[in-house]
Amino acid sequence: MTGLHLRPLRAGDAAAVARLHAASWRASYRGLLSDEYLDRQVESERAAVWQARLQQSPRDTQAGVAAVADDGELLGFAFIHRHEDPQWGTLIENLHAAPGRHGLGIGRSLLRWVCAQVPPDEPLHLLVYDANTAARGFYERLGGRPQARMDEIAPDGRPAVVWRYVWPAASVLAQALG
């Protein structure tokens, strides 16, 4: 994709990241999360999360990246927790491309950045809702394997099924990304 640039997330990105995060959830989780939550609460909740997260002093175990267009528009973002789990390695906590921008290479660019942030032999994992079949298919096409099914309480208080997707090493994902 031409005109896509990656740069570190900054404190001033909190509002734009929250809006994109909320839009992503509205597009992907309609029917999984309640309409009340998605229409009235998700954006303010995400704003509080990202304001707090991006205002904190950066920790060497956390990193975030923004995918921006030439004009500065936020097209996607990722956030990781390095070495989060002794077995599963680095957690990809967030990976979002703007709704309407899927299929343009944003997610792949963000995942290449993730791979560059950790040693090649570091395992990677993420959690994805069972009902998010588009994301699950994307991860599976890139060699991610569902390793654990978990029951969770979603942000709106409803029960949800979540899968842990795993890559045995960052180099495995990097190779799948080409």
Instruction: Please provide the size of the chain in residues.
Output: 178
For 28-37, what is each residue's pLDDT tens digit? 999 999 999 9
- The residues pairing with 124 across neighbouring beta strands, listed in sequence order, are 90, 167
Q: What is the CATH number of the domain that holds 108?
A: 3.40.630.30
Answer for the pair 115, 95: CB distance below 8 angstroms, yes or no: no
pLDDT-based confidence at residue 2 (cuts at 50, 70, 90): low
For the chain, the domain total comes to 1
Query: What is the predicted pLDDT for the residue at 104?
Result: 81
| 108-135 tens-digit pLDDT | 999 999 999 999 999 999 999 999 999 9
Q: Are 48 and 81 in contact (CB under 8 A)?
A: no
Range of the domain at 24: 4-177
53, 77, 127, 159 from 74: Cα distances, Å? 18, 8, 23, 31
